[in-house]
Amino acid sequence: MRNDRVFAYGAAAGLAADLLLADPRRGHPVAAFGRAAAGVEGVLWRDHRAWGALHAAVCAGGATAAAALAARAARHRGALPVALTAASVWAVVGGTSLGREARAIGGALTAGDLDVARERLPHLCGRDPQALDGPGIARAVVESVAENTSDAVVGALVWGALGGVPGLVAFRAVNTLDAMVGHKSPRYRRFGWASARLDDVAGWPGARLTAALAAVAGGNPRGAVRAWRADAAKHPSPNAGPVEASFAGALGVRLGGTLSYGGRVEHRPVLNGEGRAVEVADIERAVRLSRRVGVLTLVVCAGGRLAYGAIKRRRT
Predicted local distance difference test score (pLDDT) of residue 267: 75
Residues 197, 200: Cα–Cα separation, whole Å? 5
Residue 28 φ/ψ, nearest 5 degrees: -70, 135
Predicted local distance difference test score (pLDDT) of residue 241: 96
Q: What is the pTM of this model?
A: 0.94
Per run of 10 residues, the mean pLDDT along the chain (length 316 residues) is 88 96 85 96 97 98 98 93 97 96 97 95 87 91 97 97 97 97 91 97 98 95 97 94 97 87 74 94 98 97 92 82
DSSP state of 2: -
Domain count, the chain: 1
Predicted local distance difference test score (pLDDT) of residue 230: 96
Cα 134 → chain centroid:
25
Predicted local distance difference test score (pLDDT) of residue 23: 85
Residues 234, 242: Cα–Cα separation, whole Å? 10
Q: Which of 95, 94, 140, 96 is nearest to 114 (CA)?
A: 140
Measured over the CA atoms of residue 25, residue 26, residue 27 and residue 29, the dihedral's sign is positive
Predicted local distance difference test score (pLDDT) of residue 66: 98
Q: Where in the sequence is the domain holding 280, given as residue range(s)?
A: 3-315
In one letter, which amino acid is 126?
A: G
Predicted local distance difference test score (pLDDT) of residue 261: 67
